[in-house]
């Protein structure tokens, strides 16, 4: 992702080519999960961790979802000793760029978060890449925190594949969360703070628009971490 920060001419051109040639498979949200955790009876906090390509865009989506309390960009899948940006971009650490989502289970279910993840946050059929970003650190992954999350995630993937919702099989990994490591400060709220960045405009702002269009009842206009919980 260092190339994204510098955005050299060649990389910018590749983003433009990808944006205008590769089209989303659907303008409609995918079906809801048939297996889901019920909404909690009382307010609380639970954690979900998703990897879906560049964590700038994944965070930009989930921080605008009603019921989400906080989001953090970071790394999951590798060890604490290699959880730095400079090491992760070498594609040798096992880490994936990920987002930790703290949510209120009385307001939004884990299955609803998964529906958003698969509908607008990324393309779950791309193996070890996401759009113009290539490498295992951009893989699609669900890092489950407990057996219930594993059950809901695996059932949903089976449901979507059986229904052939996507033209290709889902390649999303479902793997236990062994650790989540916060990314450097400049990666936090990056899309919010850098709306004029060409990468953000081409790759990430369309995801926010898709969230608003496909899930208007869940969309909130995020202004920054100083806001109260949605």
pLDDT one-digit tens code per residue, 148-180: 999 999 999 999 999 999 999 999 999 999 999
Active site residues: 54
Q: Does 1 have pLDDT greater than 70?
A: no
Q: How far apart are CA 145 and CA 140, in angstroms?
A: 16
Residue 166 CA to its chain's centroid (Å): 18
Percent of the chain at pLDDT exceeding 90: 83
59-98 pLDDT, tens digit per residue, is: 999 999 999 999 999 999 999 999 999 999 999 999 999 9
pTM: 0.89
pLDDT for the residue 131: 86
Phi and psi of 219, rounded to 5°? -80, 135
pLDDT at site 28: 80
pLDDT digits (tens, 9 = 90+) for 17-34: 444 434 444 468 899 999
């Amino acid at each position: 992702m260092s190339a994204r920060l510098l955005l050299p001419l060649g990389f910018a051109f590749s983003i433009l080519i990808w944006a205008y040639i590769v089209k989303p498979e659907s303008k409609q949200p995918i079906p809801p999960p048939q297996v889901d955790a019920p909404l909690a009876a009382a307010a609380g906090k639970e954690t979900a961790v998703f990897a879906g390509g560049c964590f700038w865009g994944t965070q930009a989506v989930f921080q605008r979802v009603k019921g989400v309390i906080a989001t953090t960009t970071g790394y999951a899948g590798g060890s604490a000793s290699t959880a730095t940006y400079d090491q992760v971009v070498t594609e040798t650490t096992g880490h994936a760029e990920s987002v930790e989502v703290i949510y209120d289970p009385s307001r939004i279910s884990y299955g609803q978060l998964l529906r958003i993840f698969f509908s607008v946050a990324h393309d779950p059929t791309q193996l070890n890449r996401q759009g113009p970003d290539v490498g295992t650190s951009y893989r699609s992954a669900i890092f489950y925190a407990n057996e219930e999350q594993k059950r809901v995630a695996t059932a949903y993937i089976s449901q979507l594949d059986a229904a052939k919702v996507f033209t290709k099989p889902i390649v999303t990994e479902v793997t236990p969360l062994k650790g989540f490591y916060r990314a450097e400060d400049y990666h936090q709220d990056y899309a919010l703070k850098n709306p004029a960045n060409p990468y953000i405009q081409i790759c990430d702002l369309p995801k926010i628009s898709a969230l608003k269009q496909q899930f208007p009842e869940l969309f909130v206009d995020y202004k920054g971490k100083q806001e109260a919980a949605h």
